[in-house]
Amino acid sequence: MIVVTGASKGLGRAICTRLMSNGYSVLGLARGECISDFPTLKCDVSSPDDIKSVVASLKSSGVQVKALINVAGIASMNLALTTPTKTAIGIINTNLLGTIFCCQAFAPLIIRSGGGSIINFSTIAVALGLKGESIYAASKAGVEGFTRSFAREMADFSIRANCIAPGPINTDLLKGVSSKQIDAIVSDQIIPTQFEPTHVCDIVDLLLDDRSLSISGQVIHVGGV
C-alpha cells in the first residue's frame, strides 16, 4: 500500500488517481471529507494523535506499507510583516511538522515491509526566494533539509527519501494568484512552462519504481532552477 497525504484535492488527489491506475493499493489521508474512487481516512497531519490513529488501524489490518507521499500543505501568499501569527504557525505545523510527524510514524511500517520510498513535497519558492512567500518557503526549506538528513538515516533500512519541488502547477493552490505572478515565476524556471499535475505524477512514478534505486536525498525541481 502507498499512503498519500493531502489526498482530497490538487496534486494529492491527482497522485492517488495515477497510482490507482497503475495498479497500486492506495490510502489517501485528508483533513476534511474526501469523496473519491480510492480509500481515504480523515487525518490532520499536524496532529500526532490523528496520525497515530491511522498507523494503529494499518497495523491491526496487517497491511504492508511500501511508500509514503507527503503532499499535504497550506500556503499563504503574503509578506512576512503582514502575516498573522496564527497563519504562520499553521503553515509551519502543517507543512514542516506534518511532514516530520508522518515520516516518523510511517517509516517503521515501511521498514517492516522490507523498505521502499518516501516522497516529500517542497516548492520552487525555496530556490527562487520568491517575494511574498517567505514563511511558506521557510516551511518547505525545512522539509528539504529534513529530507536530506532523513534519507541518510533511512538508507540502512532500504528506504529512499526524496523531495519534489514544483513550480506553479495548475491546481487549486494557485487560486488567488494572478497570471502576472505566475508568469513571473515560470519565466525564472530553466524550462519556462507551467506544468500540469500529470507531469508531477510522472516524477512520482519514477521515485516509486526500482529505476530510482540510486536516487535518495535529492530535491527535484519541476521546471528546473
**What positions carry a catalytic annotation?**
136
CA angle, 13 then 147 then 90, to 5°: 60
Residue with cell 497515530: 52
Single-letter residue type at 212: S
Distance, in Å, from the CA atom of 94 to the CA atom of 92, rounded to the nearest integer, reads 6
Q: Residue 216: exposed, middle, or buried by beta-carbon count in 10 A (0-12, 13-18, 19+)?
A: buried
Tracing cell 519514477 back to the chain, one arrives at: 206
* Residue 193 identity (one-letter amino acid): T
Rounded CA gap, 47 and 105, in Å? 12
The cell numbers describing 13, all together, are 488527489
Instruction: Using CA atoms of 5, 170, 195, 88 in order, give the dihedral in degrees to the nearest 10.
Output: -60
Find the distance separating the first CA and the last CA of the chain, reported in whole Å: 33
H runs (alpha helix) in 74-123: 85-91, 98-112
Q: What is the CA radius of gyration of the chain?
A: 17
